[in-house]
Structure 1
Amino acid sequence: MSDKNTKWKKQEKAAKATQVAFDVSESVHKFIQKSSVDDNLKSSDFIRKVLGLEYKAKKVRPRLTLTLSDSDYAVLGKSFNIDPSDHIAIKHAVTKLLVDLANSHSKK
């Protein structure tokens, strides 16, 4: 029962928080994004750090996400010569492409 109470208290506290958006120039946005990546933080946690607020110091999960539609899978299937319905094979092909891109960029 105490786990439920603790969870409820955390949810109640989170519900009282307000999300704030900052309209800044593209250069400021890029700086914050790059700095947060360099510090292995989400951009919101990096801003909290800069402001002297509590933040989660856990590393950002090294995962990239992308939403793909059926038509996207059709294009990628054609590009990689893979059946568009084979989403796993397309995922592996895209992963390899991204890794190769990063490796070629780091050698420059």
Structure 2
Amino acid sequence: MSRKIPEKWQSSVKAVKAVQVAFDMDEKIQLAIRKEALEAGFSPSEQIRTILGLPTSKRPKRPRLTVSLSPDDYALLADKYDLTPDQQLEIKKRLMDDLVKHIVEK
């Protein structure tokens, strides 16, 4: 019995069939590709696709940095900023201030 994929998921079919490929190569090569990507405003994955002559996403991407924070991390940061762990938005604001300050003071 073949099940029909819902219409709203049709655009995701190709992505589901894609296979991620990991490259174990010299650290210097990886760093060079990452630097090229950064300078071009690409993700490392997009840079690899460009190098290989494959199509890349034409959608502009919002540049952002990410970090994963556990409940323990929030507790530590809340203590650092004299807040409570559930004040996650305020903690995020303080983190952003610290990151900017770190770069500006260099």
Task: Sort the TM-score into its range (normalised by shorter chain).
Answer: 0.7 to 0.9
How many residue pairs were aligned? 100
Matching residue of 2:17: 16
Unmatched segments (≥5 aa) in structure 1: none
| Superposition RMSD in Å | 2.0
Cα gap change, 1:52 to 1:25, in 2 (>3 Å): same
Normalising by structure 1, report the TM-score.
0.77
Unmatched segments (≥5 aa) in structure 2: 1-6
Q: Percent identity?
A: 34
Matching residue of 2:68: 67
The answer to which structure has the higher helix fraction is 1
| 1:102 positional shift | 2.1
Contact 1:49–1:55 (CA under 8 A) maintained in structure 2? yes
Matching residue of 1:34: 35
* Partner deviation per Cα, 1:60-85 (whole Å, 9 max, x = no partner): 42222222112111111121222222
Within 5 Å, give how 1:1-108 maps onto structure 2. 4=7, 8=10, 10-105=11-106
Looking at structure 2, the residues matched to 60 and 14 of structure 1 have their Cα atoms a distance apart, in angstroms, of 18
SS at match of 2:13: helix
Normalising by structure 2, report the TM-score.
0.78
